[in-house]
C-alpha cells in the first residue's frame, strides 16, 4: 500500500509536471505564433503601407511645393503684365493725345497758309500788273545786288592777295 501510495503520488506529480510542460510548450508555441504573426504583419503589411504613405506624402509635398511655385510665378507674371500694360496704355494715350494736337495744329496751319495764299492772290489780282512789274523789278534788283556783292568779295580777295604778294616781295 505504501508502494501504491508512492506510485500514485509519483503518477500525480508526473501528470502535474507533464501538464505543466504541456502548458509551457503551448504557451511558448502561442508566443512564437504571436511573434511570427506580429513580425509578418509588421514587415509584410504595415511597413509597405507606411512606405506608401511616406511616398504619397512626399509626392503631395513636392506637388504642393510645385503648385506654390507656379502660383507665385503666375502672380508675379500678372503683376509685371499689369505694370507693363499700364505703362504701355499710358504711353499710348499720351501718344494719341500728341497726335491729335499735332493734327489739329497742322490743320490750323494749313488753313492759315491757304487763307493767306488766297488773300495774297486776291491782293495781287486787285493791284494788277503794275504791282507785278514792280515785284519783278525788285527781284531783278535783288539778283543784281547779290551779283554785286559777289564781285565786291572777289575784288577784296584780289586786293588782299596783291597786298600779300607785295609784302612777300619786300622781304
pLDDT at position 131: 58
Q: Give yes or no for residue 130 having a pLDDT over 70.
A: no
Q: Are residues 87 and 170 in the same domain?
A: no
Q: Are residues 121 and 134 in the same domain?
A: no
The CA distances from residue 62 to 7, 50, 56, 67, in Å, are 78, 18, 10, 8
Average pLDDT over residues 140-163: 82
pLDDT by residue (tens digit) across 19-77?
777 777 777 777 788 788 778 777 777 777 778 888 888 888 888 888 888 888 888 88
The CA distances from residue 33 to 27, 36, 45, 114, in Å, are 10, 5, 17, 116
What angle, rounded to 10 degrees, do the helices at 47-127 and 129-170 form?
Answer: 100
pLDDT at position 1: 57
What is the full DSSP assignment across 53-77?
HHHHHHHHHHHHHHHHHHHHHHHHH
What domain range is 160 assigned to?
128-171
Q: Are residues 110 and 158 in the same domain?
A: no
Q: Are residues 29 and 98 in the same domain?
A: yes
pLDDT at position 8: 67
* DSSP 8-state secondary structure symbol assigned to residue 43: I
Q: Are residues 102 and 158 in the same domain?
A: no
Q: Are residues 91 and 31 in the same domain?
A: yes
The dihedral formed by the CA atoms of 92, 98, 104 and 108, expressed in degrees to the nearest 10? -160
pTM score, whole prediction: 0.32
Q: Are residues 94 and 134 in the same domain?
A: no
Amino acid at each position: 500500500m505504501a508502494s501504491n501510495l508512492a506510485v500514485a503520488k509519483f503518477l500525480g506529480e508526473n501528470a502535474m509536471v507533464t501538464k505543466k510542460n504541456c502548458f509551457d510548450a503551448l504557451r511558448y508555441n502561442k508566443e512564437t505564433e504571436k511573434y511570427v504573426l506580429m513580425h509578418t504583419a509588421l514587415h509584410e503589411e504595415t511597413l509597405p503601407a507606411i512606405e506608401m504613405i511616406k511616398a504619397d506624402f512626399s509626392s503631395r509635398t513636392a506637388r504642393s511645393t510645385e503648385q506654390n511655385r507656379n502660383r507665385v510665378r503666375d502672380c508675379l507674371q500678372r503683376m509685371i503684365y499689369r505694370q507693363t500694360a499700364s505703362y504701355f496704355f499710358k504711353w499710348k494715350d499720351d501718344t494719341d493725345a500728341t497726335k491729335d494736337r499735332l493734327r489739329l495744329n497742322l490743320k490750323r496751319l494749313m488753313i492759315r497758309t491757304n487763307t493767306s495764299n488766297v488773300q495774297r492772290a486776291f491782293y495781287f489780282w486787285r493791284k494788277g500788273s503794275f504791282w507785278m512789274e514792280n515785284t519783278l523789278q525788285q527781284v531783278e534788283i535783288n539778283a543784281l545786288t547779290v551779283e554785286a556783292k559777289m564781285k565786291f568779295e572777289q575784288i577784296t580777295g584780289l586786293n588782299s592777295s596783291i597786298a600779300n604778294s607785295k609784302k612777300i616781295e619786300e622781304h
